Every structure is written in structure tokens, then in C-alpha cells.
Structure 1
Amino acid sequence: MSNRALSSETISLFLGEVIDSKGQQMPVAADVEKIVRYVEAETGLKFQIRVLPWRRAQLLVKNGEGIIYGFSKSPERVEFYDFSLPVLVQKVWAIAADYGDGKIMTVNTLTGKTISIERGVSHGFEFEKARNLVFKVDEDTASVELRFKKLFAGRSDALFWQARQFKRAKELEDYLIHEVFINFVDRELAQKKITISPEPLYFDAVHFACAKGKYRKEIAKINTAITQGKINGKLTSIIEAK
């Protein structure tokens, strides 16, 4: 019960923005909202969700102005941020334009290629090892349509897409074609063909995080909520729901 003691302070909780095909900020994903509300209910913490460009959100958190969710560890970040236990693991797939060459994408086949990632995003330690050594990284806009437009124009060789719910590349392909591309303003772009790596290239653990030493008690409460939620199934059911 002590973990649920109500907090009198409202804490800013930063999330990264996603931009739709019309350039508008999309609503917070339902599963993310549920995870945040679960943590609130289990810890007694009160969050004010703030959706910002990812780099700006990280800077504000680094300056001690709140907690961030959806954060991956990297060698640079662990110097400046304290991380919660992992909440979930995202699969990171590579997506390329389909030119009928049947190439199978692995990390090794991306040697020397230019990879589009969202600006300010890291996909974990293994990704950081390969970044700018195996492949070059182009930090891109938060707009999904613009990222694919650059891909099909040949300005990037592949883009990385993270999603935890898909077990096979075909599931991700169907989702992109029937739920993402269908909403593109550029209808010609929506007809383009893609190829997806047969397996995820990286597995990226996602955390809550804060500036070093800033919210130690709060992160401890969040850790308890994460642990208990995976034991009793409350958090697991949110994460695994489709």
C-alpha cells in the first residue's frame, strides 16, 4: 500500500510526438495511455502528459523538469539519466523500397547504407554500436509519410520501424499497407511496394527515465509497479493486448 500513497505533486510526463500525413500531432496511442494510467493507479503518482518533439522532451527531462516514457538506453544516455526497469521490448524492423531484387535485410546487408530513424531516437546498445560504423543514420522527421517519401525517393536506403505486436514481417507489412499507407495524402506514394527484414534487427527495451538523481523515489515506485504488474498480469495484459 505504501507504493500507492498519493503524491501531492503533479509530475510532467514527456512523450514523443508522432505527426500524421496532414502535419498534425497524433493523439497519444491508446496502449501508451493505458500504461501511464496503470502506473499512476499503482504508485499514487500524478502525471501531466506532455507530448513534444523527442529531442526537446529529452532535454527538458535532462534538466530535471519531469519524467520521460518510451526511452531506450544508450552509452550516452546512461551518463545523464536514471532508468526504470524495462516496461516492454520493442522489435526494430528494417523497411526498404521493393525493387524486385529480393534482397534479404540483415544488419550486415545494411553496411554502408543510410538508415532513416526518427529524430532523437535510439534503439538500444547494439544499435548504437552499429550506428555510423556499420551504417549511416539519417535522423528524420516525426512524420511517417515524409519518412516513406524520402525512402521511395532514394534519399535513404531503409528506415527502422519499431513495433512490439507483430511476430512476422508479413503482419507488419499488412499493417502498414492497410492502416498506415491508406491514410497518406500522396496517393501515388501509398501504392508503392516495400520489403521488410524477415526478422527484427534489434530488440529494444523501453523504460521510464529521469535526470540523474532527480526522481529516485518516484522511479522506485514505478519499478515496484512494473514488477508487480508483470507478476499479477495487470501490466502484461496491457502490453500484450492488440
Structure 2
Amino acid sequence: MLKFRSFVVSIAALFVISALCFPSACNASESPVRLFLQESLDSEGKQVALNPKLMEILTYFERQTGLKFEPIILPWKRAQSETLEGKGIIYGFSRSPERLKAYHFSLPVVTERVWGITYGRPKPNYRHVEDLRNKIVSTGRGFSHGMEFDQARDVIFKVQEDSASTVARFKKLMAKRSDLMVWPVRGYQHHAEVEEYINRIIVKESNDPELKGRYFDVTDQPLFYDSTHFASAKGKYAEVLKKIDQAIARGTKNGSLNKVLRGYH
């Protein structure tokens, strides 16, 4: 009888230990959450490898939530439609009045300054949204750059949505087929830093002969501010978004989220 009682106690203890396991261990057997990410193409239309810093951020959220992500790279509009159909969640998504009707957004992960990039002399003096009246503004296809941007598009300025090829957008700017490109940047606060980054990293490392020796200007101040989020279709993945929100709130409070975001451009 004593042995039987000991056996029962041991089994009960195992259940208790299982119930108290760490989130990552508890969720190890759960299906991965499909996470849709924006594709980025080079000048030949080939997919550019994911930014290692982005992978570090996603690993941070896996560790903090106990979730396992299955990253899927898609054209941005398709990523949005797949999310809307409840096939997964999306990351790097901006809010807009229209999107708020259909998507459930996490807390902001990061706030971005949205700068304008121009080409040629004299350098235009774009400082406020009203300065963009009747201008052609180049964005990536399917992109929003925040609430103010969406309220002004096709009212104050005309939006030209381009492919995911950054090089193609620079060439359109050089050819005067657009007046400026909008470019979100997370890590830099001053336009001189952004300008150096654009010319020294983005343009130079494209290795495109048509961009060789070209220099692009950046507006003296951000034109818009935007926040990026995880998001799902309304009524879908509620528990996943709840865990992500908890991780964002906790990471913001203890500084760990800001630390992992440092250097993410």
C-alpha cells in the first residue's frame, strides 16, 4: 500500500513539474506560427538575404514568448492578404485608418523616422507634409508610413508604388519620374547620419553601375513618424498577439527590447 501511495505521489509530482515548465519548453511541441515578412529584391530581382539583426529580433521574441516562428518572405501585398486570410501573422506592419478596420495590431515594437530622399540640385527644401503638395512620392508596393502619411496620400501628394527593388526606385528618382522617395529609418536621429547610410551603404553596396558616383540627399528632418507592429487578422491569433504584447511591455520596461533593437536600421 505504501509503495502504491509513493507511486501516486511521484506521478502527481510529474504533472506539477510539467505544469510549471518554462514557456519555451512548454511550447516546444506546438506548431510554429507562420510569420510573414517583407521581401527585398536586388537589382536583378533576386531575394536579398534577411537582415541578421531582424533574425536576432525575432529570436528575442521567441525567447520572450515561448512561441516558435516560421518566417515566410513574400511580396508585401501578398503578405498582407495571407495575414488577412488568417494564415499567419505579419511583422513590420504600420497602422493606417483602413488597416485598423481589418487587422489587430500589437503594441509598437519600434518607432521609425520617415525621411525623404531626393536627387539633383538645388536640393529641395521639404520640411513638412504641405511642402509635398502635388509631388510624386515613391514608396514600396503595399507600404504605409503611418497615419499622417495615409491621410495625405492622393490628397496632398500622389503616391507611386514601386517594386521591392530599391535600386529601381533610386533610378526612377534620378530620371525625375518621382520627386522624392520616403525611407523609414529606425536607428539614426540626424539627417547627416541617414544621408551617409544611404550613400555609403545602400547605394555603394548595390554595385549597380548606373548608381556609381551618384549622391542622394536626405531631408533635413523626418517628414513623418511611424510605428511598426506585429499584426493578425481581427479575431485570429489573439493568444499569440497577447504573448507578444506582454513581451513588448516587459522588454520596454526592463530595457531588453531597446537593447536588441539597437543598430537595427
TM-score (normalised: structure 2) = 0.87
What do residues 167-192 of structure 1 show as CA deviations (whole Å, max 9, x unaligned)? Answer: 11111111121111113343232322
CA RMSD of aligned residues (A): 1.6
What do residues 123-175 of structure 1 show as CA deviations (whole Å, max 9, x unaligned)? Answer: 11111111111100001111111000011001111000111111111111111
Name the stretch that deviates more: 169-178 or 207-216. Answer: 169-178
Structure 2 letter corresponding to 1:11: V
Aligned residues: 241
Name the stretch that deviates more: 19-28 or 202-211. Answer: 19-28
Name the stretch that deviates more: 140-149 or 7-16. Answer: 7-16
Match of 2:70 in 1: 48
Unmatched tracts of structure 2, length 5 or more: 1-19
Change in CA separation of 1:128 and 1:235 when aligned onto 2, cut-off 3 Å: same
Match of 1:29 in 2: 51
Greater CA radius of gyration, 1 or 2? 2
Identity %: 41
Find out whether 1:102 has 2:104 as its counterpart.
no
Query: Which of the residues 47, 59, 67 maps onto 2:81?
Result: 59
What do residues 66-96 of structure 1 show as CA deviations (whole Å, max 9, x unaligned)? Answer: 0100000001101111000000011100011
- Structure with bigger RCO (C-alpha 8 Å, 6+ apart): 1
Aligned pairs for 1:1-242 within 5 A: 4=23, 5-6=26-27, 8-99=30-121, 101-106=122-127, 107-241=129-263
Contact 2:199 2:216 in 1 (8 A): no
Contact 1:3 1:224 in 2 (8 A): no
Unmatched tracts of structure 1, length 5 or more: none
Q: Quick one: distance in 2 between partners of 1:69 and 1:44? A: 17
TM-score (normalised: structure 1) = 0.95
Q: Quick one: distance in 2 between partners of 1:85 and 1:3? A: 24
Contact 2:198 2:216 in 1 (8 A): no
Q: Quick one: distance in 2 between partners of 1:142 and 1:179? A: 17
Structure 1 letter corresponding to 2:125: I
C-alpha deviation, 1:103, in angstroms: 2.4
